[in-house]
Structure 1
Amino acid sequence: MPELPPGRSPESGAEPHHHPHGHPHDQVLVEEYARHLAAERNLSEHTVRAYSSDAAELLRHARNAVGAESPLDDLLTLAVLRSWLASMSTAGQARASLARRAASARALSRWLYRTERLTTDPGARLQAPKRGRPLPGVLRQDQAGRALAEAASVVENGVPESGSGTLKIDPNDPILVRDLALLELLYATGVRVGELVSLDVDDIDRDRRTIRVLGKGGKERVVPYGVPAATALNSWLDRARPALTSENSGPAAFLGKRGGRVNQRQVRQVVHQALERVNDAPSLGPHGLRHSAATHLLDGGADLRSVQELLGHATLTTTQLYTHVSVDRLRASYRQAHPRA
């Protein structure tokens, strides 16, 4: 990475006057940038917060390196952007983190150039180490089937106390019916856990067996589900949900014990407990069921575009990750079964 001019680094002491909480002009700039990200790019609150924090950090780094009162064109050069990434690499940040920071710097640079605050766009030439994308953990189809069968058995028979004939959990508990519906719907649709907990009763079309979810970037999509999920969901909505409904319930499709909308942490616990009942199943959360649903769809012959639409991926590149999972499985089966593998 190109070096900054001698005597201009933070360590050199060449710029002794720093604003301890960031330059006042930069604070205003970051606030405007955050409004742009939220209003014009429709990014999530989490992403806006992350990109805004990156912008503030980058500007502080630039002023320390170049000069506290330098104009933006001198502050945000390609060399400064690269030195910012280099400082984080030296601090031991992972490649995935560096890739995200580079994307954040490019987004800021592009916005500053488009709004004529910069005369050039240095971020357009900024590169970072390619993000390593580990293959997602997935269940085998038989493991998914056994996990759902166990959950259905719990609904029907309850959970016995270890070593006794008494029941630890009564099969009439509406939470058990809810848990089965959650699991069936997660696996049937491959929706994100955030999309699932945000579901309202009116988002469920029981006649057509579809749900309407609001995905990333505020994009709405309709996702179908199958007969087992429909059976579990109807049982929850007709029989169990009314037993938990309270003044806090509102239109929420899935409720917690106190009648409020179920949260993501509770759903994760449900998935982990369900998979613990399957001896050879990996420890996965709701996103693991999403990965499994996508992989099993592709294994079953679904085309990539359809799976992309179902999962709500913005680009086909993200969906293609699951083809690697399927190919890896095929390769493993080949090595195990073929006499000349």
Structure 2
Amino acid sequence: MHTTVEIANAVLTKMQALVSGEVLSYLESVLMSELRGIELEVNALSNVEDEASKYMERFLAAKTIEGCSPKTIRYYKATLTRALEAIKKPIIRISSDDLRTYLSEYPIGNNAGSITVDNVRRILSSFFSWLEDENHILKSPARRIKKIRSKRTVKSVYSDEDLIALTDACSCKRDLAIINLLSSTGMRIGELVSLNREDVDLNRRECIVLGKGNKERVVYFDATTKLHLNNYLQERSDNDAALFCSLTKPSSRLQVSGVELRLRSLGTKAGVKHVHPHKFRRTLATKAIGKGMPIEQVQKLLGHQKIDTTLMYAMVDQDNVRDSHRRYIC
């Protein structure tokens, strides 16, 4: 990168044959003045970026210690980097209006919906709250920015017929075990592929999963799932510790993408639309609440820290609403 003096000398060398010495001298003073001003602005911006980067890395380190996954840390970093680069102010000078302006303009350049924008707001709020707690700033500018309302869409769940069709479409014992384990436990797809054989207790019909924040919890499965798991494990001849492995040799732990592709393929074969792992989780929550399971127990079963998250997963079955209306009001 050329220095201010080098740039000025290069321009003057090219101009000296075209202008007089007096004009050249004046041109030199103008060039040096303007270039030094630009240099100061660049250095100031660099200092702002260095300061923001320093605080951001400390914040991400704190989140890592709290148990956030590498994927979450990457999302936090990308979101904060984009915001701080757009605002271009020292951390201590960022105001509530700066954040409001950024959030209001975010959908325009990113084609984002209100849910995505609220996720950005939530990350910014977490970052500035941490800065306040650590005494790096006096007060978080995100305090005054309220949750962004979004339209709640009714997400579908699997019907009993869908689940039967999916199991009928299975051509191997492994896929049967996967579908039944997902539907009877409601575990996350990441938890499923991380399971080892030793994590499963067939006699007690339960297994230990490692959830978000590296927190262990016990989930339970039904007798049908026990049968399919046992059949699958008995036919395995490998020594891999993973509960679910690839069908090709040499066998290896099944990955999230592998499960997603397999389920989509089974959905196409069974004629079931929108088949994906998370839908099993939402289906379990909806059925559990519909049958009267206390919401606190559903929360523990799914491994949610906040009960509001559980309520977002659980759709209220319209048939239950109709039956309750007839029971309590009619």
| Amino acid aligned to 2:188 | R
| Partner-residue secondary structure (3-state), 1:186 | helix
Gaps of 5+ in 1: 1-12, 155-175, 335-341
Whose helix proportion is higher, 1 or 2? Answer: 2
Identity %: 24
**CA positional deviation for 1:89:** 3.2
Q: 1:149 to 1:301 in 2, by over 3 A?
A: farther
**Corresponding residue of 1:123:** 142
Contact map agreement 2:289 2:295 (CA 8 A) in 1: yes
Match of 1:165 in 2: none
- Equivalent-residue separation in structure 1 for 2:203 and 2:315 (angstroms): 35
Residue 149 of structure 2 corresponds to residue 177 of structure 1? no
Residue in 1 that maps onto 2:123: 104
Per-residue CA distance 1:301-328 (angstroms, 9 max, x = gap) = 32222222111122221222355331x3
Structure 1 residue 195 displacement after superposition: 0.4
Q: Measure how far apart 1:282 and its partner are.
A: 2.4
Quickly say closer, same or farther: Cα 1:266–1:329, change in 2 above 3 A: farther
1:230-249 maps to which residues of 2 (within 5 A)? 230-239=226-235, 241-242=236-237, 245=238, 249=240
What does 1:138-287 correspond to in 2, within 5 Å? 138-151=157-170, 154=171, 176-239=172-235, 241-242=236-237, 245=238, 249=240, 251-256=241-246, 257-258=248-249, 259-279=251-271, 281-287=272-278
Gap change, CA 1:115 and 1:62, over 3 Å in 2: same
Shift of 1:332: 8.0
Q: What is the alpha-carbon distance in structure 2 between the residues aligned to residue 302 and residue 263 of structure 1?
A: 32
1:32 paired residue number: 58
Q: Structure 2-normalised TM-score?
A: 0.78
Cα root mean square deviation, aligned: 2.8
1:254 to partner: Cα distance: 0.7
Between Structure 1 and Structure 2, how many residues are aligned?
285
Distance 1:106 1:20 in 2: 24
Contact 1:276/1:283 (<8 A) preserved: no
Equivalent residue letter for 2:286: T
SS of equivalent to 2:224: helix
Q: 1:29 to 1:321 in 2, by over 3 A?
A: closer
Q: Which has the larger radius of gyration?
A: 2
State the shift of 1:273 in Å.
Answer: 2.7
| CA displacement at 1:189 relative to structure 2 | 0.7
Q: Over residues 269-328 of structure 1, what are the superposed CA-to-partner deviations in whole Å (9 max), with x where a residue is unaligned?
A: 22223333433x3222111122222222233332222222111122221222355331x3
Given the two structures, how large is their TM-score scaled by the length of structure 1? 0.76
List gaps (5 residues or longer) in structure 2. 1-37, 325-330
8 Å Cα contact 1:98-1:128 kept in structure 2: no
Q: Measure how far apart 1:96 and its partner are.
A: 1.0
Question: What is the rounded CA distance, in whole Å, between the counterparts of 1:302 and 1:146 in structure 2?
Answer: 26
Looking at structure 2, the residues matched to 284 and 77 of structure 1 have their Cα atoms a distance apart, in angstroms, of 44
Q: Paired residue for 2:97, among 64, 76, 79?
A: 79
